[in-house]
């Protein structure tokens, strides 16, 4: 009986036909198809793209007070590395029949793409100057929309290994904190226009961003260890058990 190579992003069940039906002993599953070199794991590509975009944005926010710091310098990484790699991982997962991680990679891939379009538009004043309150509020709404979607992703994927849940939780918190930081900046612009300063919440967001980057690195290392024949680093048991 032909057996497809499953993705290792989610647990897979091996189904064997009854021996009585075939008239002979059922074949043993091929362990080499589940682990080892060249095993089909879209996470090798997806988490690489996730880390590239996240690191690029984190380093930009870390130096946000430097006048010469520009988000535009990070856009090639976000568009041509993160977006492309994540969407390729989504297509890879779909081909393997793994709809859950196809959705995960697709969501994060389109986040980086839409964020890049927003950044280019604001940098070129296509929607008015960024210092304008209305434009800052549009950016806050953008971050809030994505925060809501990632929170929904978090609560609907509690049956994944615990490392993924922790990652999604920290990403959700980071987006909510950055939304608060933008609202702080708007308040300062309105009430203290002569004393511009960085909102303190942005530094909390930077700290949480580096935390989910570390979690992403751990998951990436776990997948690469498994794909190259080493023992997979533990990702934890799911918070909710499957039926």
pLDDT, tens only, 99-135: 999 999 999 999 999 999 988 888 777 776 666 777 8
- Which pLDDT belongs to residue 152? 97
Instruction: Report the sign of the C-alpha dihedral through residues 34, 40, 42, 48, in that order.
Output: positive
Instruction: Report the sign of the C-alpha dihedral through residues 220, 223, 227, 229, in that order.
Output: positive
Helix (H) or strand (E) holding 72: none
Yes or no: say if 167 and 154 are a contact pair by the CB < 8 Å rule.
no
- Which pLDDT belongs to residue 133? 78
Ranges of the chain with pLDDT below 50: 1-7, 9-35
CA distance 196 to 194: 6
- Which pLDDT belongs to residue 40? 66
- Which pLDDT belongs to residue 120? 86
Residues 6+ apart with CB under 8 A from 171: 150, 212
- Ramachandran region of residue 238, left (φ > 0), alpha (ψ -120 to 50) or beta? beta
Q: What is the DSSP letter of 8?
A: S
Helix and strand numbers, DSSP H then E, in the chain: 8, 0
Q: Distance from CA of residue 80 to its chain's centroid? A: 16
């Amino acid at each position: 009986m032909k057996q497809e190579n499953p993705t290792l992003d989610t647990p897979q069940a091996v189904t064997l036909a009854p021996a009585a039906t075939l008239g002979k002993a059922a074949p043993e599953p091929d362990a080499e198809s589940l682990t080892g070199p060249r095993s089909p794991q879209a996470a090798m590509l997806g988490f690489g793209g996730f880390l590239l975009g996240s690191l690029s944005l984190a380093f930009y926010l870390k130096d946000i007070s430097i006048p010469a710091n520009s988000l535009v310098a990070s856009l090639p990484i976000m568009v041509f590395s993160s977006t492309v790699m994540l969407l390729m991982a989504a297509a890879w997962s779909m081909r393997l029949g793994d709809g859950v991680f196809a959705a995960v990679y697709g969501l994060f891939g389109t986040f980086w793409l839409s964020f890049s379009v927003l950044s280019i538009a604001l940098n070129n004043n296509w929607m008015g100057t960024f210092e304008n309150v209305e434009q800052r509020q549009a950016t806050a709404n953008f971050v809030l929309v994505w925060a809501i979607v990632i929170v929904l992703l978090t609560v609907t994927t509690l049956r994944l290994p615990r490392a993924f849940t922790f990652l999604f939780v920290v990403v959700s918190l980071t987006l909510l904190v950055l939304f608060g930081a933008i609202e702080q900046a708007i308040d300062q612009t309105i009430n203290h226009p002569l004393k511009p300063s960085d909102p303190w919440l942005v530094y909390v967001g930077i700290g949480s961003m580096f935390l989910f980057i570390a979690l992403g690195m751990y998951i990436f290392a776990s997948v690469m260890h498994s794909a190259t024949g080493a023992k997979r680093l533990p990702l934890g048991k799911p918070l909710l058990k499957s039926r």
